[in-house]
Structure 1
Amino acid sequence: MERIGFVGTGLMGHGMAANILGAGYPLAVVAHRNRAPVEDLRSRGASEVPDLAALARASDIVHICAPGSPQVETVVDVLADHMVEGGVIVDCSTSNPVSTEALAAKLSARGLHMADAPLGGTPVQAEAGELAAMVGATEDVFARIEPVIATWAKSIVRIGGPGAGHKMKLLNNFLAMGYGALYAEALALAEKSGVGTAMFDSVIRGSRMDCGFYQTFMGYAVDGNRQAHKFTLTNALKDMTYLAAMADGAGVANPVQCAIKNSFAMAVNTGGDGPEDYVPHLVDFVARANGIARD
């Protein structure tokens, strides 16, 4: 079987790695200061290596779950120096497609392969092996990595060549973050106009305007559950910044996306930059900007 390496066993990566192990693949993880997920994976049979160079030498296929392109580029630079020819690096982060395409060309010149498989879903779905994967890879590389991805994803779609998966993920997040920005402004207006959050929710919930994203967003806005949707405001802003670059590269006017990006920029730049400041908390920042005190 292919030997799998994993970089980034955090909220999403831990569940993914556990499912790879559960399917019988040999798995190596790199040492990390966050010991809990590493120790859990070791207890399931994973091997721990001291650094990225050792991980590269121990792996045929390496998964990366990182915050964004700068971190991915740093990891790939090290892996590329130590992987055996024919190795595959799979970036499961939400990254800048321009960077992904450049990395793919760089790796190809060294006899290595780049694929992108950004995720759709939650940490709960990662643990259950029920994520969605939007894959950018050549056909032959996709055929090789698909069985591994199938251990942690229920839905797998090859979008196109390297970088195409990241383009699709940014489009997906454009819609999701757009919902968040709309909901936050609608709730501010509901409060200031006298309709109120509870009444607004009673009308929208169960209507044609309802959806899964609405329900997790309102899990905080209505019920006060800070853990209802664990995707940070900083990641939302990062993704919308990448999407703006993607639109610029394609020569597409994107005024709506610019407004969405600015909503999240306002939140991040006025205090919403912590590791537990999540997308539904945008409602607080929009309310505060409009002089509304939320309980």
Structure 2
Amino acid sequence: MQVGYIGLGNMGGALAERLQLSTPLHVHDRSQAAMDRLAAAGATPCATAREVAERCDLVLTCLQTSAQVREVVFGAGGLAEGLKPGTIVVDQTTGDPFETRKLQAEVDALGAHFMDAPVSGGPPGAAAGTIAIMAGAPADLYARVEPVLRAISCNVYHTGDVGSGHVMKLANNLLSAAQRLLSHEIMCLAVGNGVAPATAVEVMRKGSGRNYTLDNTYPRHILTGELFQGFTLALMHKDVSLATEMARQSGVPLFFGAQVREHYQAAINQLGAEADVNEAVRLFERAAQVMLRPQENG
């Protein structure tokens, strides 16, 4: 089976590099530097998405939005121009499950297959082979793709039919986004009442308030003052907005989720859409008049 990968950014590049360790890839990205990086690891660069489709039996994509996935599939020089009957397209974008199901119907009409397999765990999880992969596909299609996904990570989950992977990813990201903001607020509460930031994190990591933000974001980024993570406020707001729109369309009330979306919009208004997601901690510090980061980092 010939395998391709399209979208070699911060997340897609890490996933492709992990897969390239065991599976020779044909790759495409708008960035020549990104393709060169994979080529140095043994991958074959392709000038267009169409060329990837012509060479491969299975193509994975990892882009920023479902609109970009649609463009890669059906735009000029896109996958649809080169798809062979039976080719499988696996979308690892954090996407819109409703759009994913539309894409499935349109790709299926071409005689190929489309499924979703988004991930959670960031580039470090991809590099370590531990990232969570949520695959939405019919059982027979999943069985064909599973060995390739397990070449990326040992943590692969079949979540149901097409679109269910993106449903699970949006639910996960909304929970993560909410925990991130609440952790900043609670840390300000503890620090504002005399507990050192590192002590507060250490204690809560051993208690019932433990979460991913305390386990990873604080030790790596907040307590060190090295805020850059490579994930923007705009992308976080996009994920949260997709989750709240999914709730609206399915009739599920999101009392807290809607507030989370508005908090990220407020952060964008004050810090800019391209600010790193960790920059939002500054807003909580200002509101509480405390510092969670080292003073010398501003």
Above 0.5 in TM-score?
A: yes
1:105 aligns with 2:105: yes
| Displacement over 6 Å in runs of 4+ | none
Alignment of 1:1-295 (within 5 A): 2-23=1-22, 25-35=23-33, 37-77=34-74, 78-191=78-191, 197-198=197-198, 200-219=200-219, 220-227=221-228, 229-274=229-274, 277-278=276-277, 280-288=278-286, 290=287, 292=289, 294=291, 295=295
Task: Output the CA distance in 2 between the equivalents of 1:255 and 1:116.
Answer: 28
Q: Taking structure 1 as reference, are residues 64 and 210 closer, same or farther at Cα in structure 2, changes over 3 Å only?
A: same
Task: Output the CA distance in 2 between the equivalents of 1:268 and 1:152.
Answer: 33
Amino acid at match of 2:167: K
Check whether the contact 2:115–2:162 (CA below 8 A) recurs between aligned residues. yes
Task: Output the CA distance in 2 between the equivalents of 1:244 and 1:169.
Answer: 13
Q: CA deviation at 1:92?
A: 0.4
Question: How many residues were matched structurally?
Answer: 288
**What's the Cα RMSD here?**
2.1
Q: CA deviation at 1:204?
A: 1.9
Q: CA deviation at 1:97?
A: 0.6
Q: Taking structure 1 as reference, are residues 102 and 122 closer, same or farther at Cα in structure 2, changes over 3 Å only?
A: same
SS at match of 2:170: helix
Q: Which runs of 5+ in 1 are unaligned?
A: none
Check whether the contact 1:128–1:152 (CA below 8 A) recurs between aligned residues. no
Q: CA deviation at 1:101?
A: 0.8
SS at match of 1:154: coil
Amino acid at match of 2:184: A
Q: Which runs of 5+ in 2 are unaligned?
A: none
Task: Output the CA distance in 2 between the equivalents of 1:211 and 1:248.
Answer: 27
Task: Output the CA distance in 1 between the equivalents of 2:230 and 2:216.
Answer: 9
TM-score with structure 1 length normalisation? 0.90
Amino acid at match of 1:21: Q
Task: Output the CA distance in 1 between the equivalents of 2:61 and 2:148.
Answer: 14
Return 9-18 or 143-152, whichever deviates more: 9-18
Q: What do residues 71-114 of structure 1 show as CA deviations (whole Å, max 9, x unaligned)?
A: 11111212123211111111101001111011111111111111
Check whether the contact 2:100–2:163 (CA below 8 A) recurs between aligned residues. yes
Check whether the contact 2:107–2:113 (CA below 8 A) recurs between aligned residues. yes
* Identity between Structure 1 and Structure 2 (%): 30
Q: CA deviation at 1:157?
A: 0.8
Check whether the contact 1:15–1:129 (CA below 8 A) recurs between aligned residues. no
Task: Output the CA distance in 1 between the equivalents of 2:20 and 2:198.
Answer: 45
Check whether the contact 1:107–1:114 (CA below 8 A) recurs between aligned residues. yes
